[in-house]
Amino acid sequence: MSSITIIDYGMGNLRSVQKAFERVGFEARVTDNPALVANADKLVLPGVGAFRDCMRNLEDGGFVEPIKTHVDAGKPFLGICLGLQLLFTESEEFGRHAGLDIIPGRVVKFPQGLQAGNEELKIPHMGWNRMAIRQPSPLFAGVDDGSFVYFVHSYYVVPDDPQVVATETEYGLSFCSSIWRDNVMATQFHPEKSQAVGLTMLKNFGNL
């Protein structure tokens, strides 16, 4: 069985992702060694925190080139939450900051005053919400359209190419909640916190 490698760059609850993969029968290793990242069969980039700090940690840890090499080699890649946003060209969080630029596009903040009916929506967007499947990513095999998944975020991605949008979610506006392009899959929501639906996605990734 091919190995799953989770990048430890000092941001994110890595153990919960590792435990979720173990629950569905896969061995997943957490590493802060860029050489192990470079040799990974399947790579997972989780993350929580500020975009700028995460990019700095990826650069300082020597992870940027191994990530890009992995993606260019066509090997499976999964980004989770900030791990989705980091794939994009730039983020407007606390100024403008360059990302990995693997997926052209930008990361923007939810505007103030979003409403659902007469209710003003809180930012960050936190809790359970539905995802509408726009294209059948391998990640969603056996997952129903409209399934509920778990979110915690104040920013969302806007891809230049709408063809990479795998799911959309409504929160006062319709936003891209996951992407898929070739071997690259990434979710704004947390599969490891999304109970049976999320575990199905992680199992699908492990089986690629």
Q: Please write the tens of the pLDDT for every residue from 132-147.
A: 999 999 999 999 999 9
Residues involved in catalysis = 81, 190, 192
What are the structure tokens assigned to 100, written together?
A: 């990995």
In the structure, what pLDDT confidence band is assigned to residue 47 with cuts at 50, 70 and 90? confident
- For residue 11, the model assigns a pLDDT of 78
* Helix 14-23 and helix 195-206, axial crossing angle in degrees, nearest 10: 80
Q: Which residue has the higher pLDDT, 4 or 117?
A: 4
- For residue 166, the model assigns a pLDDT of 98
Which pTM was predicted?
0.96
Give bridge partners of residue 116 from the DSSP assignment: 119
* Buried/exposed 179-203: b ≥16 CB within 10 Å, e otherwise: bbbebbbbbbbbbbbbeebbbbbbb
Distance in angstroms (rounded) separating the CA atoms of residues 120 and 113: 6
Domains of the chain are 4-206 (3.40.50.880)
Distance in angstroms (rounded) separating the CA atoms of residues 185 and 43: 10
Q: Indicate if the pLDDT at residue 33 is higher than 90.
A: yes
If DSSP codes are grouped into helix, strand and coil, which group holds residue 88?
strand
In the structure, what pLDDT confidence band is assigned to residue 1 with cuts at 50, 70 and 90? low
Q: Indicate if the pLDDT at residue 12 is higher than 80.
A: no
